[in-house]
Homo-oligomer: A and B are copies of this chain.
Amino acid sequence: MRILGVDPGLTRCGLGVVDAAGARRVSLVHVEAATSPSTDPTPARIARLGAALDRVLDEHRPDCVALERVFAQSNVSTVMGTAQISGVVMLAAERRGLPVVLYTPSEVKAAVTGDGRAAKAQVGFMVTRILGLAEAPRPADAADALAIAIAHAWRGGAAPAGSAATTAAQRRWAEAERAARRRG
């Protein structure tokens, strides 16, 4: 299964595509951080990021979209733009018939590092290791988009139908995730 992870933002929007074969094998397909200049009018910025999103969807044809859930409690100065881009991502996915799954930042951190409060650098480090990359994807938004895609792959989104069996490592991950959610 091919997953597009999106770290939504108006200044930088992370777009990361991974292929997931089974529950624990994921590989990098594509990653970028689409940008829009803060000096442009908001509609132009949204259209520019929407065009980058369409291009990734057309070129890499993911089976589903994993999107970071935006909270109104977050940084007020950026949250509105983030929500606007989220709406555009949901619309594009829905119009292509792709399922959209939302993950909170702490769910993503818990999935890839085992700690729902992990630092950004730790997320980048783990994404680099998990995907077997030579170096961490930059900027952080690109790494975060991949982390969201990996989180979806590992949450069972990429498990073959009927494969209920879990490994000991998977059970430990699941326990770490639950613990992180309780703390978060």
Inside 8 A of A27's CB, which chain B residues have their CB? none
B80 near A46 with CB under 8 A, answer no
> Cβ of A76 < 8 Å from any Cβ of B?
yes
Say yes or no: is A70 at the interface (Cβ < 8 Å to chain B). Answer: yes
A160 → chain B closest CB, angstroms: 24
Does A94 sit at the interface, judged by CB under 8 A? Answer: yes
Tell whether A73 is near chain B: CB-to-CB under 8 Å. Answer: yes
A1 to chain B, nearest CB (A): 18
Which single member of B46, B73, B76, B94 contacts A47 (CB below 8 Å)?
B94
Q: Which residue of B lies closest to A73 (CB)?
A: B76
Oligomer copy total: 2
Centre residue among A43, A94, A102 by max chain B CB count within 10 A: A43
Q: Does A72 contact B (CB under 8 A)?
A: yes
Interface of chain A: mostly helix, strand, loop or mixed: helix
**How many Å lie between the Cα of A102 and that of B161 in the bound state?**
48
Separation of A73 and B73 alpha carbons in the complex (Å): 10
Interface hit among A84-92, A103-111, A125-133 = A84-92
| 0/1 string, A139-174, CB within 8 A of B gives 1 | 000000000000000000000000000000000000
Task: Verify B79–A44 contact, CB threshold 8 A.
Answer: no
Q: Indicate if A66 sits at the interface (CB-CB under 8 A).
A: no
Chain B residues closer than 8 Å to A62, beta-carbon distance: none
Chain B's closest residue to A98 (CB) is B43
15 pairs across A/B with beta carbons < 8 Å? A41-B100, A43-B100, A47-B91, A47-B95, A50-B91, A50-B95, A72-B76, A79-B83, A80-B83, A80-B86, A83-B83, A84-B84, A84-B87, A87-B87, A87-B88
